Amino acid sequence: MGKYTLPQLPYDYAALEPHIDARTMEIHHTKHHQTYVDKLNAALEGKDDLSSQSVDDLLRNFSKVPQEIQTPVRNHGGGHSNHSMFWTIMAASAGGPATGDIADAIKDAFGDFEAFKEKFSTAAANLFGSGWAWVVVSNGKLELLTTPNQNSPLEKGQAPVFGLDVWEHAYYLKYQNKRPDYIAAWWNVINWDEVNRRLQTARQPAGTRT
Ligand code: MN3
């Protein structure tokens, strides 16, 4: 039994239907996410000084990870952190325009919500290969960016507010090659309450985050 463990989903596999199907959610959680956890634990075997940190702190302190295990920590630590975030920022009976502080922050940074949604969706659709589209707090400002593979914004000192998994495993069973359809559907399940909680944390100065 390794140090890092697969978190439970805060809802049933079928909860996000019809936008994200139950079979995709089950495989994504029990196979893909579990594999990131297992491979992260294998990479950190015997390195208790590193694995005593939360996975997010491990990535924030990436420069302290020995070079010979940087690649598995980036891939599988990133995979564990990214998916742990992803499950929580989705919910049943969610979606719609942003609410609360994130609505104001989006307006300040990107203009109106529909313009932002378009910009984020285009970035996610155009990302070549596998990766994530993100809204992060970077130097106190809200930014939209993408990362390849499972690379986490935490590694670069950016605080992820929310991110969208655009690996084919996230949508292929239901949407096949139609990634833009998956992205359009995903806006119906984004959990703005959790995004607002994460925004509050992301805006706290580094070092005081929990
Ligand atoms: Mn995934």
88 CA distance to ligand 1 middle (Å): 13
pLDDT in the model for residue 206:
63
- Residues paired with 141 in a beta bridge: 138
Q: Are residues 77 and 118 in the same domain?
A: no
CA 170 – ligand 1 centroid, Å: 5
| Mean pLDDT, residues 173-198 taken together | 98
pLDDT at 35 over 90: yes
**Res 192: pLDDT:** 98
Lowest mean pLDDT among 31-35, 102-106, 203-207: 203-207
Mean pLDDT of the chain: 96
| Cα 190 to middle of ligand 1, angstroms | 16
Ligand 1 centroid to 150 CA: how many Å? 8
138, part of any domain: yes
CA of 108 to the centre of ligand 1 (A): 30
Average pLDDT over residues 44-66: 96
94 located within any domain: no
Q: Give me the mean pLDDT over the 32-50 stretch.
A: 97
Give which of 11, 18, 20, 72 is closest to 44, Cα–Cα. Answer: 72
Tens digits of per-residue pLDDT, 112-161?
Answer: 999 999 999 999 999 999 999 999 999 999 999 999 999 999 999 999 99
Q: What is the percent of the chain where pLDDT is above 90? A: 95
Give 165 Cα–ligand 1 centroid separation in angstroms: 6
Q: How far is CA 1 from the centre of its chain?
A: 25
195 and 116 co-located in one domain: yes
Helix %, strand %, coil % for the chain, to 5? 55, 10, 35
pLDDT at 204 over 90: no
Q: Ligand 1 centroid to 2 CA: how many Å?
A: 21
In a domain, residue 116? The reply is: yes
35 CA → ligand 1 middle, Å: 11
Q: How much distance in Å is there from the Cα of 96 to the middle of ligand 1?
A: 23
| Listed residues: CB within 5 A of ion ligand 1 | 165, 167, 170
Residue 109 alpha carbon to ligand 1 centre in Å: 27
What's the mean pLDDT in 162-167?
98
The rounded Å distance from CA 164 to ligand 1 centre is 9
Domain assignment present for 210: no
CA-wise closest residue to 186 among 174, 177, 196, 197: 174
Q: Evaluate if residue 26 carries a pLDDT over 70.
A: yes
Q: What separation in Å is there between the alpha carbon of 167 and the centre of ligand 1? A: 6
Domain membership of residue 95 (yes or no) is no
Residue 131 lies in a domain: yes
Mean pLDDT is lowest, of 41-55, 98-112, 196-210, for 196-210
Q: Return the ∠ at Cα 194 (arms to 193 and 200), rounded to 5°.
A: 95
Same domain, 146 and 198: yes
Taking 80 as the threshold, does the pLDDT of residue 82 lie above it?
Answer: yes
Q: Once rounded to an integer, what is the mean pLDDT over residues 14-28?
A: 98
What pLDDT does 1 receive? 46
Q: In the chain, how many domains are there? A: 2
Q: Are 106 and 66 part of one and the same domain?
A: no
Check which CATH number belongs to the domain holding 28 and give it: 1.10.287.990
Residue 210 has pLDDT above 90, yes or no: no
DSSP label of 141: E
Residue range(s) defining the domain that contains residue 190: 101-205
Same domain, 84 and 105: no
The C-alpha R_g of the chain, in whole angstroms, comes to 17
Q: Which residues contact 93 (CB under 8 A, 6 or more apart)?
A: none
